[in-house]
Structure 1
Amino acid sequence: MSDWPVTHSPLPRRRPRALSPLREHLRDTFWFAPTAAMVGVFVVWWVAQELDAALVRTLRDEGDHDTLAELVRFADDAKTVVSAVGSAMMTFIGVVFSISLVAVQMAGGQFTPRVVRLFVRSRITKATFAVFLATFVLTLLVLTSYDSTPDPRDITSVPIVQSALTLVMVALSLLLFVMYVNATLRLMRVGHVIARIAEESFRVAALMPAPVHGTTPRGPGGNAEGPLGPVTAWVAHDGRAGVLRDVHTARLVRVARAHGVVLRLVPRIGDFLVPGTPVLAVHGGQAPPRRALRYALSVGVERTFHQDLGFGLRQLSDIALRALSSAVNDPTTAVQALDRVVQILAALSRRPLDAVVHRDRRGVPRLVQPVPGWTELVDLGFAEVRACGAGAPQVTRRMLAGLDDLLLLAPPERREPLLRHRELLRQAVERAAPSPADRAFALRPDRQGIG
């Protein structure tokens, strides 16, 4: 039996999906969906062309030239519509997405540049762009299918199915355009952006395995106490410099099991890695070969939500700091961000943190991964906002109410950082408020700030 304690999380639990760095990479890019749509429309057009050819052959074999002539006239009428759609679609795409890029730029400047990822990862945005391009490509392909032979008896193909398919794509484009405008306007509203950030944070927390205590990572030269035993080898990072975005936990668990060792990740998700620094500590044996650890760590230029527990709080703090700057001066937005900070911390208040363990199929621990601790998460959510918002009574009142709520929810051993921030906030308000009446007003808890 393992010495690791079994813990339970108050968050809704789902079976964690296996990490797919490729899937996350494709979600962070904008080229894959349009490219796949254009390739798919070629296949659909080829099938439609074969159906049109089969329809013409059937009518010619049956000698039904009158019906064939009617189809030719219908196709000629549809050709006008197809030509108009083809000429207007690219102009429409350019205008719509030029305006969208301006909206994204404005949102990034108003909230934080890190929220631009919400626009890039938006499924409706990618679907709209993909369908627009696919409709344009389809119109070009359909126009090439028209037969210039004037005699219906010599016609080999009449693009009836293709023309109907084009009209369906136009209708789908209009529907997606309406949905896209609605989704874009929602993402330009700070309340919806903050709600999306909180939703992503809850998804990360819900997919985390059961955390354990007693496995705090240490640097080179130190030994981890407890069930891991001493460090027997180190594995250094030999890739490019960048932010640690993902860890292929399933691969590392398989490698550790195959070599009979326990691997401990030294950096946390979101740390910046420099080539040559240690990334894995090996306990109980020799380090696995480099080829076995290939593609186990994903390094990129910026943090992502995929496995980063603190990234949501980081973005909420950035939004609050931007709102409290002298250039923006919008404390109400800071209060909205604090609402979600308190919500996230309340969900994590009784959840074991500091490190999580990944086991193999036999239940043997194989990979220990560090995650932010409770004190670090509380500091991330409140420290910078407290320093910048001490002069805004709306912010201080909301922060005090949030700290009081968390003090009611958190277990006794986790109240120290909350009490510390409450005292630091009181001191900051005393320095910022000129009179006792102003200080008393700013230190009165209020869940709406100034409700």
Structure 2
Amino acid sequence: MKSSLWVILGLYAAVALGTGIALVAFDHDSPLESSLDLSAVSAGAALAALGGGMITFTGFVMSVVLLVVQFGSSQFSPRFLRWFRDDPVMKHSLGTFIATFVFALTATALSGRGPENIVPYRALIGATVLTAASIAWFLALIARTSDNLRVAHVIQRIDSQARRVFDDVYPTTSTEVEAAQQAAASVDPNSAVQQVRNPDVGGVLVAVDRDELLRIAQRHNALSPAVNDPTTAVQCLHRIADVLRYAAAKHLSTGVVTDDRGAVRVLVPTPTWDDMIADLPVKRHPALARQLDLLEEAVGRAYPAEQRADALAADRQGLGMAIQTGESARGVS
């Protein structure tokens, strides 16, 4: 319901229809006097012209939007269609256009009733307000469409969605980890609603063969200036690095998905650091061993011998040394 385009457009049309009937009836029951000295014929002609123009304008906008979606889907991803469909600016702008057309059509059909030539001033005011709103939403739609076609904006949206996925699946603090582990331990495996198994071989990306990747890119001319912009590729790599840095702060070993009330809904066997190391290609082992040696050397230079073992202990939150040091200080004092 929330993401349905037809629901939003239907609500706009229904509200415009009811508002048009109410304003015209109000004009007939209590006519307004104005210094504009308009006639009922001119008011009806203005409303009729507005209704005809808005339906033509809405069709033109829809045609342009469909061309933009087709271009974006072919250049970026088929998910581009979903982004446009779920965009609130797209929904409300089209809804305003349709509401203006329905309101003008209703006011035109109802304003000429009765023997008296009553000028529907309230209906004209409502039509003017809707026309101004349509212009505002049209400008907002142009701005949003141009932003959606920018590569930097597309990459930013992917980055934001990836962060939300990490926030929803993986906890951040040790308290959240303990709560997730306790919630998982309280679940009876025999009471599971459904077990989903992947028949294919699962895998986790643990390393990238840079030399082979460069050879593939050169062989397929993947970053030719005539086809793709190398700057775009650099922006994508920067965003990937940003997402990986954001994921590094998460506890990837917890595969517990809970709802808003904390109830366990899904248990996913997620990879741990040891799993990633075990699946690491053999040729990457020396580089990893070298990084671990450099880390131990840095710890040896930064901490005295009596604190070195504590400093090398696994503590992803970085609180172990602080807690132990604080306890030692309280004991000395």
State the secondary structure of the residue aligned to 1:31: helix
Structure 1 residue runs of 5 or longer lacking an equivalent are: 1-21, 60-66, 217-225, 237-264, 273-320, 379-410, 416-451
Give the counterpart of 1:109 among 74, 80, 90: 74
Do 2:47 and 2:104's aligned partners in 1 also have CA atoms closer than 8 Å?
yes
Give, as a single letter, the amino acid of the residue that structure 2 aligns with 1:231.
P
Identity %: 28
Q: Do residues 200 (structure 1) and 99 (structure 2) align?
A: no
RMSD across aligned positions (CA): 4.0
Alignment match, 1:43:
18
Do 2:89 and 2:141's aligned partners in 1 also have CA atoms closer than 8 Å?
yes
Alignment match, 1:356:
256
Q: 1:340 to 1:372 in 2, by over 3 A?
A: farther
Give, as a single letter, the amino acid of the residue that structure 2 aligns with 1:45.
G
Q: Do residues 344 (structure 1) and 309 (structure 2) align?
A: no
Which one has the bigger helix percentage? 2
Q: Do residues 333 (structure 1) and 232 (structure 2) align?
A: yes
User: Where does structure 1 differ by over 6 angstroms across 4 or more consecutive aligned residues?
Assistant: 213-216, 411-415
1:207, CA displacement in angstroms?
Answer: 4.9
Question: Whole-Å Cα distance in 2 between the matches of residues 104 and 414 of structure 1?
Answer: 48
1:129, CA displacement in angstroms?
Answer: 0.6
1:214, CA displacement in angstroms?
Answer: 12
Question: Whole-Å Cα distance in 2 between the matches of residues 207 and 233 of structure 1?
Answer: 24
1:110, CA displacement in angstroms?
Answer: 0.8
Normalising by structure 2, report the TM-score.
0.63
Alignment match, 2:206:
none
Which one has the bigger strand percentage? 1
Give, as a single letter, the amino acid of the residue that structure 1 aligns with 2:136.
L
Do 1:360 and 1:366's aligned partners in 2 also have CA atoms closer than 8 Å?
no
Do 1:139 and 1:166's aligned partners in 2 also have CA atoms closer than 8 Å?
yes
Do 2:40 and 2:118's aligned partners in 1 also have CA atoms closer than 8 Å?
no
Structure 2 residue runs of 5 or longer lacking an equivalent are: 200-216, 277-311, 317-333
Do 1:131 and 1:169's aligned partners in 2 also have CA atoms closer than 8 Å?
yes
Alignment match, 1:227:
185
Question: Whole-Å Cα distance in 1 between the matches of residues 255 and 147 of structure 2?
Answer: 36
Alignment match, 2:289:
none
Do 1:213 and 1:352's aligned partners in 2 also have CA atoms closer than 8 Å?
no
Deviations 1:54-87 (A, max 9, x none): 313xx7xxxxxxx49x787344333222121111
Alignment match, 1:83:
48
Question: Whole-Å Cα distance in 2 between the matches of residues 74 and 373 of structure 1?
Answer: 76
1:145, CA displacement in angstroms?
Answer: 1.7
Deviates more, 1:102-111 or 1:328-337: 328-337
Aligned length: 252
1:50, CA displacement in angstroms?
Answer: 3.5
Do 1:186 and 1:192's aligned partners in 2 also have CA atoms closer than 8 Å?
yes
| Paired residues for 1:28-427 under 5 Å | 29-56=4-31, 67=33, 73-147=38-112, 154-155=115-116, 158-207=119-168, 210=171, 212=177, 227-228=185-186, 231-236=189-194, 266=196, 324=222, 328-353=227-252, 354-358=254-258, 366-370=264-268, 373=271
* Bigger CA radius of gyration: 2
Question: Whole-Å Cα distance in 2 between the matches of residues 266 and 157 of structure 1?
Answer: 69
Normalising by structure 1, report the TM-score.
0.48
1:373, CA displacement in angstroms?
Answer: 4.8
Do 1:71 and 1:160's aligned partners in 2 also have CA atoms closer than 8 Å?
no
